[in-house]
Chain A
Amino acid sequence: MRLPEQPNERIDRSRPVQFSYGSRLVEGFEGDTIGSALFASGRRVFSRSFKYHRRRGLLCCSGACPNCMMRVNGEPNVRVCTEPVREGAQVQAQNVLGSLEHDLLAAVDHFGGPFTPVGFYYRTMIRPRSMWPLYEKFLRNIAGLGRLDEHAGRSRRFDTEHRRAEVLVIGGGRSGREAARSAAAAGRQVVLVDERGAAGVNGDFEVLAPARAIGIYEGGLVPVDAGSVLYRFRAERIVVATGALEQPLVFPGNDLVGVYLPEAVRRLVDEWSLKPGKRAVIVSADDRGLAIADQLQRAGTSVVESIDLRSAPPRTLEARGSRGRLSSIVLDDRELACDLLVMSGGRQPAYSLLAQAGARIEYDADRGIFVPTDLPPNVDAVGSVAGEMEPAAVPAATLNGAEEVGRCFVCICEDVTEKDMKRAIAEGFDSIELAKRYTTVTMGPCQGRLCHVPAIRLFAREHETDEATIGTTTARPPWAPVSLGLLAGRGHEPAKRTSIHHRHKEAGATMMWTGFWRRAHSYGSAGNEALHVHRAVGVIDVSTLGKLLVQGPDAARFLELLYPNRFGDMKVGRIRYGVLGTDAGRIMDDGTIARLGEEQYYVTTTSTGADTVIEWFEWWNAVWGLDVETVNLTGALAAVNVAGPRSRELLGRLADVDTSNECISYLDAKETLVAGVPCLILRIGFVGELGYELHFTSPYGEYMWDTLLEYGADLGIRPFGLEPQRILRLEKMHILVGQDTDSESNVLEAGMPWIAKLDKDDFVGKWALEHVQERGFREQLVGFEMQDGVVPAEGGQIVLGGQSAGRVTSARLSPHLGRAIGMAWVRPELAQDGTEIEIRVNGGVANARVRLKPFFDPEGERLRS
């Protein structure tokens, strides 16, 4: 079915390529596109239209129109007219119920007309409401274009690459190539991007092809779609050479199979040596269209008639067909039998990228085209996109007669007809922007390439005004369809692991996320691990804590300004618990502050708060300019907490100092060797038992962990995870910032008034806390214990006489106490020890009692022992 060898043909007849279409095998040649190979095999119908399911065939052969979209290797909406053939590819029709020849949904075309006018989905299928599930199921089945392969999820990998260029040329046509060559000759670093294969593009510059610039964003950012890589180009100069787009004519039957734009016929004949039809008629507004007669002659197609719209425009034009294929046209009153109609409504500069970049778009009434003007200083336009092109006739908005003889498509992507546009205008959509949204004209896969100008022309005619008055719709990225995977890039899930991470895995811990950190949730039984800390000794990896060194002559003053606490009066070697707040009085983080020297403090933060806290510290000091510096040691140091009644005995075996209560008492900080490793020992009690936090350089993590487990074996040492730690801290009513507090919480209402030294001259949040004290409390953070064993959900409601009176923030079953305990925000009048409250649990209510003192060791005797 091929013509004899053509002078410039692209196909290599010695290299056949096979692929499957549905269940059939199709043979093409290297150099074919899937579309041209299918055409060669005799296929003329390539798709069914979006709404009416009308047969559609090749129209533009340039990747602009929606007519050849098929599913290729599972990927929907591939334009096969530009997609190169690949051996073994699997090609299927899409948007059909049945086959392209027998599509059951074509019923919409025959019967749906009166029932499915423009915007019907805004008005119909609303009542009765009870029917909606049925409507929805039906609509979801037929709506949309193409179907995603739900199982393909991660079958493709996409990447993003940041690039820069002195000159970025978009478009590899003649003007683009010239621009690239001359810029390269001037010594500039040039990159040229071309949608097609960029054959014959060469020079002293880089070529990216096939690749598409999908937009021009502020700052000269141009994302370029190169298939599986998105290049984010930052260019000093952008040269747009996107050329011009052939425009269709609007007349009844203009969507029939056999109606082509000139470029499609040229490529069919010249590049793939295919005969487009037997009898042809040409109706053209410019010489490009008329010149197609040469190709047709070579292909052996007889040209029945050639109409030049500049000299002899017909009043009416109608295409007739059977089974969706063109069989004749009616020119005024003459009927001409033909199976090929080459139509050309002239060309329109493809200005979208320029408009996105900020150019103004003006209508040139003489030539009937929209041209870009007032380009931004870093952007140039060359070639036909700038309006440099051959003279053409301005075609009439439509070429149908007074009476309706058939559907006249303004937009073939969304099946918007002339009638739909008129109806939208009659319904009051008098601005082109609104009509666009209502009719969805220009919103389909071609993104206005073929329908933008015809829609404006029709709009102008109906409003009895000109195109300049109607104006264009806003051009927005993406200029070409882009797969979502490309925009998302490769899936990055950054994870931070402590230096002891693999020991937890080996011990069979279940891991969990806390921010970016991976932490051990538990090693089997959270309850037993918590019990074990009370009975013997446990060890937990707390390397995730934020660790900051604050030092300098102003260190004490700096911390006193940041925290509500006082630090200047601390003795060297002592520790204080601190809560960090904002000037709105809100709690943002908490941790311990150890004074290591007169001018040196060691600050710990929550595991997820380290980065925020160091930014916060630096920010305030950017204003204050105090003589102090902050060093983030979070990653450099590992930390473990050894806790339980037998922890002192264990530490005594390993530390180079006396570990008696007199030598290292509660809230003491001591620098010494532990198992030969320089350590900072912090005696603190987050989990409520006698305990020591050891901070040391990260590389010793596994060694320290192993040594503790080895030397503590006879004491019954066991690792414990984050979940048992949460049970233990809850028994002590130690808050977790972000769990028990939210963006409204302050230290006073959170039950820690001793933190806020309101007699200090100034600190961040002082005035807001003073205000809270003045206005009185609105709610208070308290503990509660359940009367029966039920554990309420976190976030559960506290009720009082049927009214909401607070919410649960934490709740756990404490194996040690044998009770369900928790913390909650309640109204101030409920914040009395022993008050009975009710908590909503599983639809009912459960009784609880408010507790203000820690559930475990309320006086802290165990902690200090």
Chain B
Amino acid sequence: MSFLLPCPNCGPRDVNEFVCAGEVTKRPRAAPSQRELSAYVYFRRNVAGVQREWWYHRFGCELWFLADRDTRTNEVLHTELPQDSAETPVAR
């Protein structure tokens, strides 16, 4: 991986400055069944296409943000801070 990633706070930076925490997942609301819990903890959609992900600017502003990245081309279409997001992820 060697692409540039636009941090919503710092602008475009080398991807090595960031940590990717994987795709945004949905945390069950309450008392999930074992199947729901396993799906949430262990299963990922792993799409070949645009995926919404968590990124952390570890060697920069130390903020978490959301990115829409095309997993096939590493093209980052959009990044935003969670508080600016129209659809704030309810949970991971």
Q: List residues of chain B with CB within 8 A of the CB of A762.
A: 30
Q: List residues of chain B with CB within 8 A of the CB of A624.
A: 91
> Contact between B2 and A218 (Cβ–Cβ < 8 Å)?
yes
> Contact between A219 and B56 (Cβ–Cβ < 8 Å)?
no
**Of B2, B30, B56, B90, the contact of A221 (CB 8 Å cutoff):** B2
CB closest residue in chain A, given B15 = A219
Within 8 A of A (CB), among B1-43: 1-4, 14-15, 19, 21, 27-28, 30-32, 34, 37, 40-42
> Contact between B32 and A767 (Cβ–Cβ < 8 Å)?
yes
Output the least CB separation between A488 and chain B (Å): 15
Complex-state Cα separation, A625 to B84, whole angstroms: 11
**A583-B41, A768-B41 in contact; A219/B58 too (CB < 8 A)?**
no
Output the least CB separation between A267 and chain B (Å): 36
Complex-state Cα separation, A762 to B27, whole angstroms: 12
For residue B83, CB closer than 8 A to chain A, the reply is yes
CB closest residue in chain B, given A619 = B64
**Of A217, A584, A625, the contact of B82 (CB 8 Å cutoff):** A625
> Contact between A767 and B64 (Cβ–Cβ < 8 Å)?
no
> Contact between B19 and A219 (Cβ–Cβ < 8 Å)?
no
Complex-state Cα separation, A767 to B28, whole angstroms: 10
Name, among B14, B21, B41, the residue most crowded by chain A CB atoms within 10 Å (CB to CB): B41
For residue A234, CB closer than 8 A to chain B, the reply is yes
> Contact between A623 and B2 (Cβ–Cβ < 8 Å)?
no
Complex-state Cα separation, A116 to B19, whole angstroms: 50
> Contact between B4 and A219 (Cβ–Cβ < 8 Å)?
yes
**Of B19, B34, B64, B91, the contact of A771 (CB 8 Å cutoff):** B34
Q: List residues of chain B with CB within 8 A of the CB of A493.
A: none
Complex-state Cα separation, A624 to B64, whole angstroms: 12
A-contact bits for B49-61, CB 8 A (1 contact / 0 none): 0000010101000
For residue A162, CB closer than 8 A to chain B, the reply is yes
> Contact between A619 and B54 (Cβ–Cβ < 8 Å)?
yes
B-contact bits for A604-635, CB 8 A (1 contact / 0 none): 00000000000100110011110000000000
Complex-state Cα separation, A593 to B74, whole angstroms: 41
CB closest residue in chain B, given A221 = B2
**Of B3, B37, B91, the contact of A767 (CB 8 Å cutoff):** B37
Complex-state Cα separation, A583 to B92, whole angstroms: 10
Complex-state Cα separation, A623 to B32, whole angstroms: 19
Complex-state Cα separation, A727 to B82, whole angstroms: 46
Complex-state Cα separation, A234 to B2, whole angstroms: 10
Q: List residues of chain A with CB within 8 A of the CB of B91.
A: 623-624
> Contact between A623 and B3 (Cβ–Cβ < 8 Å)?
no
Q: List residues of chain B with CB within 8 A of the CB of A583.
A: 27, 40-41
**A218-B74, A623-B91 in contact; A618/B62 too (CB < 8 A)?**
yes
> Contact between A623 and B90 (Cβ–Cβ < 8 Å)?
yes
Name, among B3, B21, B83, the residue most crowded by chain A CB atoms within 10 Å (CB to CB): B3
**Of A219, A618, A768, the contact of B3 (CB 8 Å cutoff):** A219
> Contact between A622 and B64 (Cβ–Cβ < 8 Å)?
yes
Complex-state Cα separation, A806 to B27, whole angstroms: 34
Q: List residues of chain B with CB within 8 A of the CB of A218.
A: 1-3, 74
**A218-B3, A219-B2 in contact; A623/B31 too (CB < 8 A)?**
no
Q: List residues of chain A with CB within 8 A of the CB of B64.
A: 618-619, 622
Q: List residues of chain A with CB within 8 A of the CB of B37.
A: 767-768, 771
Q: List residues of chain A with CB within 8 A of the CB of B65.
A: 622
Complex-state Cα separation, A771 to B63, whole angstroms: 33
Q: List residues of chain A with CB within 8 A of the CB of B46.
A: none
> Contact between A623 and B82 (Cβ–Cβ < 8 Å)?
yes
Output the least CB separation between B43 and chain A (Å): 12
**A615-B56, A623-B91, A625-B83 in contact; A767/B1 too (CB < 8 A)?**
no
Q: List residues of chain A with CB within 8 A of the CB of B2.
A: 217-219, 221
CB closest residue in chain B, given A585 = B41
> Contact between A619 and B90 (Cβ–Cβ < 8 Å)?
no
Q: List residues of chain B with CB within 8 A of the CB of A615.
A: 19, 56, 58
Complex-state Cα separation, A615 to B54, whole angstroms: 12
Complex-state Cα separation, A768 to B40, whole angstroms: 11
Name, among A221, A584, A623, A771, the residue most crowded by chain B CB atoms within 10 Å (CB to CB): A623
Complex-state Cα separation, A218 to B41, whole angstroms: 32
Complex-state Cα separation, A162 to B34, whole angstroms: 49
Q: List residues of chain A with CB within 8 A of the CB of B27.
A: 583, 623
CB closest residue in chain B, given A584 = B41
Q: List residues of chain B with CB within 8 A of the CB of A618.
A: 56, 62-64
Q: List residues of chain B with CB within 8 A of the CB of A623.
A: 27, 82, 88-92
CB closest residue in chain B, given A771 = B34
Q: List residues of chain A with CB within 8 A of the CB of B4.
A: 219, 234
Q: List residues of chain A with CB within 8 A of the CB of B92.
A: 619, 623
Within 8 A of A (CB), among B59-92: 62-65, 74, 82-83, 88-92
CB closest residue in chain B, given A219 = B3
CB<8 Å pairs between A and B, sample of 30: A218-B1, A218-B3, A218-B74, A219-B2, A219-B4, A234-B4, A583-B27, A584-B41, A615-B19, A618-B56, A618-B62, A618-B64, A619-B21, A619-B56, A619-B64, A622-B65, A623-B27, A623-B82, A623-B88, A623-B90, A623-B91, A623-B92, A624-B91, A625-B88, A762-B30, A767-B28, A767-B37, A768-B37, A768-B41, A771-B34
A interface vs B, CB < 8 Å?
Answer: 162, 217-219, 221, 234, 583-584, 615, 618-619, 622-625, 762, 767-768, 771
B interface vs A, CB < 8 Å?
Answer: 1-4, 14-15, 19, 21, 27-28, 30-32, 34, 37, 40-42, 54, 56, 58, 62-65, 74, 82-83, 88-92
**What 7 pairs between A and B have smallest CB-CB spacing?**
A219-B3, A622-B64, A221-B2, A217-B2, A622-B82, A584-B41, A219-B2
Assuming A767-B37, A768-B41, A771-B34, what are 15 further A-B pairs, CB within 8 angstroms? A218-B1, A218-B3, A218-B74, A219-B3, A583-B27, A615-B58, A618-B63, A618-B64, A619-B54, A622-B64, A623-B88, A623-B89, A623-B91, A762-B30, A767-B32
